[in-house]
Amino acid sequence: MGNNGNIAIRCQGVTKTYGSGDAAVRALRGIDLEVQAGELMMLVGPSGCGKTTLISVIAGILDHDGGDCHVFDNDFTAMGARERVQYRGKNIGFVFQAFNLLPPLTAAENVAVPLLVNGVKRRAALDRARECLDRVGLKGREHSLPAQLSGGQQQRVAIARALVHEPKLIVCDEPTSALDHSTGHKVMELLRDVAVGRDRALVIVTHDARIFEFADRIAKMDDGHIEKVVDSHAEL
């Protein structure tokens, strides 16, 4: 720690309030958090404590109101809208609880989307997408539609999609909560094996205690704060 070159995410006093007046919800009340490159950080905490809000801010899809948030020394609030979108497209991978695969696209086409968004030609994008599907153990299912795949397989496609453009940061919101235990376990194994890299940070939101073991560190949140950051779930 302390080595600036290795710091992927640095949040200092980040606040976020939804709505205003009586309806205002203070979702983040001063978040201080650092995530190292090469690290798998889990965000845990009770429902409504602000986990999703925090990774949305970190991933640059939501503006925070106060404090500082730097991702690989970049400040999203200092970027123009277009620059920010392009930064996301190049540097960030997403895995969602609901998979969010485009139903009419085949597995390979879904995986190719981040490349297409970055302007890679269709053929080249599909080639790389197939390689990536191979890495997540879905060789032979390139032409399957999401509806023809099991939940676990769909999440593998989603992981391939989050990886295909070699992003520096991957954010996952509840990647296993739509899956049964053993499938979720396998998905986490896969994430650890293929997604963790020396220069890449992973931030995974979960309240599934059974996957805590995969974390390098765990940040426990409560009511808009980071309560503590621990190295193993035994310390929670």
Name the residues that contact ligand ATP, by CB under 6 A: 18-19, 25, 27, 47-53, 207
> For the chain, how big is the Rg over CA atoms in Å?
18
Tokens 């297409």 belong to residue: 116
Q: Which does 34 bind (CB under 5 to 8 A by kind): another protein, ligand ATP, Mg ion, none?
A: none
| Residues found in the chain | 236
Note the residues at the interface with Mg ion (CB under 5 A): 52
Note the residues at the interface with another protein (CB under 8 A): 52, 55-56, 59, 61-62, 81-82, 85-86, 88-90, 92, 94, 96-98, 100, 102-105, 109, 113-114, 116-118, 122, 161, 173-174
What's the Cα-to-Cα distance from 75 to each of 70, 120, 186, rounded to whole Å? 5, 26, 35
Shortest Å distance, C-beta 39 to ligand ATP: 21
Q: How far apart are the C-alpha atoms of 90 and 88, rounded to whole Å?
A: 5
Q: Which does 114 bind (CB under 5 to 8 A by kind): another protein, Mg ion, ligand ATP, none?
A: another protein
Shortest Å distance, C-beta 57 to ligand ATP: 10
Shortest Å distance, C-beta 17 to ligand ATP: 9
Q: How far apart are the C-alpha atoms of 22 and 38, rounded to whole Å?
A: 42
Q: Are 37 and 8 in contact (CB under 8 A)?
A: yes
Between helices 107-117 and 151-163, what is the axis angle to 10°? 20
Closest by CA to 156, choosing from 116, 128, 191, 125, is: 191
Q: Which does 113 bind (CB under 5 to 8 A by kind): another protein, Mg ion, ligand ATP, none?
A: another protein
Q: Which does 176 bind (CB under 5 to 8 A by kind): ligand ATP, Mg ion, another protein, none?
A: none
